[in-house]
Amino acid sequence: MKKAIAFVSTAAFLASGVVASAYFPWHMPAPTPTNNTTVTSVNDSTVSNVVNTSANTGGNYTKGGMATGKNANGGDAVSLTGNAAAAASVTNFVNKNDVDVDGCGCTSNSNNTVTVASVNTAGVYNTVNTSANTGSNTTKGGKATSNNSGWMWFSMGGTANGGDTGSSTGDALAASEVFNVVGTNVVRVH
C-alpha cells in the first residue's frame, strides 16, 4: 500500500508541474527567431576605349617669288601658324555594387544572419593618342635670273632678287587624362 501511495503522490506532483508550466509560460525559454538573408551580386564587364585627338597648324609650304630681269624682285613669302592644342579625357566607372539590407533584425540575442557576396570581374582597355603639331613647315627661297645684255666689253649690269622666305610657328600643346574606377562595393547592414 505504501508503494501505491508513493506512486499516486508522484503522479500528482508531475501533473501539477505540467499544469503549472502551461499556466506560467515564463518558466519556458521563448524560441529565438531565425532569419537568414543572402545577397549575391555578380558583375562581369569589358570596356574598350580608343580615342584619337589631334590638332595641326603645321605642314605649310612657303616659296619665295620668281624674279626675271634687270633689278627684278620676286617678293618675300612668310608662313605664320597659330597655336595647336589637343586634349582628351576618358572616365570609366565600372562594376559598382551598392547593397543596403534594412530591418534584418540583427540584435545581440537573435540568430539572424546576413550574407553578402559581391563578385566583380572587369577588363578595361584604354588607348588614348593625343597629338598637336605646328611644325613640318617648308620654306624655299625664290628664283632670280638677271638678264644682262650688251656687248661683251660693255654690260648693262643688273641684279635680281628671288625673294626671301620665312616661317614662324605657334605653340603646340597635347594633354590626356584617363580615370578608371573599377570594382567598387558598398555594403550597409542595419
Q: What is the pLDDT of residue 68?
A: 73
Residue 79 lies in a domain: yes
Kindly report the number of other CB atoms within 10 A of residue 127's CB atom.
11
Residue 138 lies in a domain: yes
Strands 160-161 and 72-73: parallel
Does residue 51 share a domain with residue 18? no
Q: What is the pLDDT of residue 158?
A: 63
Q: What is the pLDDT of residue 142?
A: 77
Does residue 53 share a domain with residue 21? no
Contacts with 51 (C-beta within 8 Å, 6 or more apart), sequence order: 88, 90, 126, 127, 128, 129, 130
Q: What is the mean pLDDT of residues 55-79?
A: 79
pLDDT level of residue 37 (50, 70, 90 thresholds): confident
Q: What percent of the chain has pLDDT over 90?
A: 29
Does residue 92 share a domain with residue 3? no
Does residue 6 share a domain with residue 54? no
Residue 184 lies in a domain: yes
pLDDT level of residue 121 (50, 70, 90 thresholds): very high
Using the predicted structure, report yes or no on whether residue 123 has a pLDDT greater than 70.
yes
Does residue 19 share a domain with residue 93? no
Does residue 148 share a domain with residue 79? yes
Using the predicted structure, report yes or no on whether residue 181 has a pLDDT greater than 90.
yes
Please give the model's pTM, rounded to 2 decimal places: 0.58
Does residue 85 share a domain with residue 4? no
Contacts with 22 (C-beta within 8 Å, 6 or more apart), sequence order: none
Q: Looking at the 3D structure of the chain, how many domains does it have?
A: 2
Q: What is the pLDDT of residue 81?
A: 85
Question: How many whole angstroms separate alpha carbon 2 and alpha carbon 10?
Answer: 12
Does residue 1 share a domain with residue 56? no
